[in-house]
Structure 1
Amino acid sequence: MQMPRTLTSLLAALAVLAAVSAWAADEAAVMHHGDHHAMPAAQAVAAPAGQARTPVRFPGPLREHTLANMRDHLAALGEIQEALARSDFDAAGRLAEQRLGMSSLTAHGAHDVAPFMPAGMQTMGTDMHHAASQFAVAAQDAAVTGDLGRALAALARVNRTCVACHAAYRLE
């Protein structure tokens, strides 16, 4: 019995996401901590004992706005994964670009938040937005080529930038 294409795509996507998550946890790439000491990416998920995340102070309303944006980023990642599970690559790309990509900076008020971010946090944020725009292109390509692996690898890069930033910084 042959599985429907959508179910096959979903199972493949889930398998790749699981593999990418495991790989990211073990990856030996270097991430920069707030004090610019190198920390292996495997330790990026939780700051090691004695190396607390760098606190970043935002004015109250801007802090709440930023936290809401980050929650929306998580929601967008979920919606993108749902679109990929449906093999709706065009929708996944649109969601990524509109909600996470470089096109989303104005809507998120990036200009207002940037002055309160340390340089490393700004770099990680910019890297995440670039990675999301790159995923959007990979997702649109997948609509034509069917190459889900390249799109999922690009989505994993978006996720890694989020994890790295949250491991290095915390809003106060």
Structure 2
Amino acid sequence: MRFIIPLAAVALAFPSLAQQHDPAMHSQHMAQQQPVSGDFRQAVAFPLEMKEHTLTNMRDHLLALQEIQQALAKAEYDQAAEIAEKRLGMSSLALHGAHEVSKFMPQGMQDAGTAMHRGASRFGVAARDVAVTGDLKPAIGALSEVMGACVACHAGYRLK
């Protein structure tokens, strides 16, 4: 269990490593990381109501990521930026009750969440810039960092 948190920190510190990911190796990689007999993510205890609230928020985060990708595919960059900021970015913290939820999170989980929220705000800026620059690559890279924070957190933690 102790190796997962440093791996999450590496993933957050070096998001460019995600660019080297080969999806075909995913099954093999996961088999090497997690023995068949168990889930070695750190279990984090939340009160039942807070757990349900948090899981609902995470499902909305996934939906927001899908909606962002859909907006990007339609070249609706301002729409993608708005979704990112309102639903995932720093201005969404009050909406999600982040201050209350963070009280139950270990520091690494808090750090991953903060990285995701800050990354979403950075993505919003990069997405709006596409309309001016015509260069989508920085926005896609910023979106990858947002998703990398999600992956790092889910790889290291689980709610109980």
1:117 maps onto 2:105 in alignment: yes
In the other structure, the counterpart of 1:11 is none
- In the alignment, which of 14, 26, 49 is matched to residue 61 of structure 1? 49
Q: Please, what TM-score do these two structures have when normalized by structure 1?
A: 0.75
CA distance in 1, matches of 2:7, 2:73: 36
Q: 1:107 to 1:148 in 2, by over 3 A?
A: same
Counterpart in the other structure of 1:128: 116
Q: Which has the higher contact order (CA 8 A, sep 6+)?
A: 2
Q: Distance in 2 between matches of 1:140 and 1:74?
A: 21
Q: Report the alpha carbon displacement of residue 33 of structure 1 after superposing the two structures with TM.
A: 2.6
TM-score (norm 2): 0.80
Q: CA deviation at 1:38?
A: 4.1
Aligned match for 2:67, one of 79, 83, 105: 79
Unmatched 5+ stretches in structure 2 = 12-20
Aligned-residue sequence identity (percent) comes to 55
- Please provide the CA RMSD for this pair: 2.0
Aligned pair count?
138
Deviations 1:22-72 (A, max 9, x none): xxxxxxxxxx734xx4477578x8453277000001000000000000000
In structure 2, the residue matched to 1:48 is: 34
For structure 1, the residue ranges without an aligned partner over 5 or more in a row are 1-31
1:97 aligned to 2:85?
yes
